[in-house]
Amino acid sequence: MSDELTVIAIDGPAGSGKSTVARRLAERLGIEYLDTGAMYRSVTFAVLANGVDPEDEEKVAAVARRVRIDLDDGGLVIVDGVDATTQIRGPEVSRSVSVVAANQEVRSELVSRQREWTRRRGGGVLEGRDIGTVVFPDADLKVYLTADPQVRAARRAREVTDLDYDVVAADLARRDSYDSERKHDPLRQAGDALILDTTGLTIDEVVDDLAKRLVDG
C-alpha cells in the first residue's frame, strides 16, 4: 500500500464475525471502519423504496448511481435522508440484497465510493466480500474470516432476534452460494489473505491476533 494509506481488508461470509472484528480492530488502531455490506443493503433499500424490481439491472444501476448513503460512526444508516438503520437488516432487504450485489454497475459504483471514502480518511478497516480481491488488492493486511455454517447461523439468529434459527440458516446458505457463485467479484479468498477460522475463538482473541500481526509487521 502507498505510504499515506493504511488499509486493512476483512472479508468472509455472513456470520463469520467480520463486522464486530473490523469495528473493534479499527477502534484499537484509532482509524475508521467501513461496513461495505451496509452500502449494498442501502442500495437495495432504495431500490425497494422506489418500487424498482431488483432484477431490473438498468433501473437498479440508476438507483445506485444517484442514491445518497450516509453511514455515521454510531452505526446509523441514512439513505436519501431517511433513517434505514433497522430496515437494511430486515427480511425484505436481506432477501433481495444478493441480486442487487450481483449487478456489475452497482458494484463498480460502490467500489469507487469505497476507494474515495478510504482516500479521504487516509485509510481504514474495510469489511465485505471483495475488499482484498478487488477494492484494495494491495491492502496492508488482508484477512479472510470463516466459521462453521451452524455457528455462523447461530450468531446471525442472535443478532436478528425476531427470526428463528432455521429461517436464518436457510437464508445464510442461500446467500453464501449466491455470493460465491455470482459472475462479478464473487466471494473468494485472496491468495495472500490470512485465513482465520473463528469457530472456536472469541472476538477478543481474533482482534488481539490481528493487532499483534500489524505491530509485528
Query: Binding to ligand DC by residue 155, rule CB under 6 A?
Result: no
Q: Does 171 bind ligand DC (CB under 6 A)?
A: no
60 binds ligand DC, rule: CB under 6 A: no
C-alpha cell at 207: 482482534
Spatial distance between the Cα atoms of 165 and 155, rounded to a whole number of angstroms: 9
Position among 179, 190, 198, 210 found at the interface with ligand DC (CB under 6 A): 179
Nearest to 186 by CA among 101, 97, 89: 101
Q: Tell me if 156 sits within 8 A of 164, measured CB to CB.
A: no
Distances (CA, A) of 32 to 75, 135, 139, 169, 171: 12, 16, 15, 31, 30
Under the binding rule (CB under 6 A), the answer on residue 54 touching ligand DC is no
* DSSP string across 187-214: S---TTPEEEE-TT--HHHHHHHHHHHH
Q: Does 40 bind ligand DC (CB under 6 A)?
A: yes
Is 36 near ligand DC (CB under 6 A)?
Answer: yes
x/- track of binding to ligand DC for residues 113-152 (CB under 6 A): ---------------xxx----------------------
Question: Which of positions 61-80 make contact with ligand DC (CB under 6 A)?
Answer: none
Q: Which is nearer to ligand DC, 8 or 216 (CB)?
A: 8
Closest distance of CB 89 from ligand DC, Å: 8
| Residues near ligand DC (CB under 6 A), total | 13
Q: Please report, to the nearest 10 degrees, the dihedral formed by the alpha carbons of residues 86, 87, 88, 89 taken in order.
A: 60
Q: Where along the sequence are the contacts to ligand DC (CB under 6 A)? A: 14, 36-37, 40-41, 97-98, 101, 128-130, 175, 179
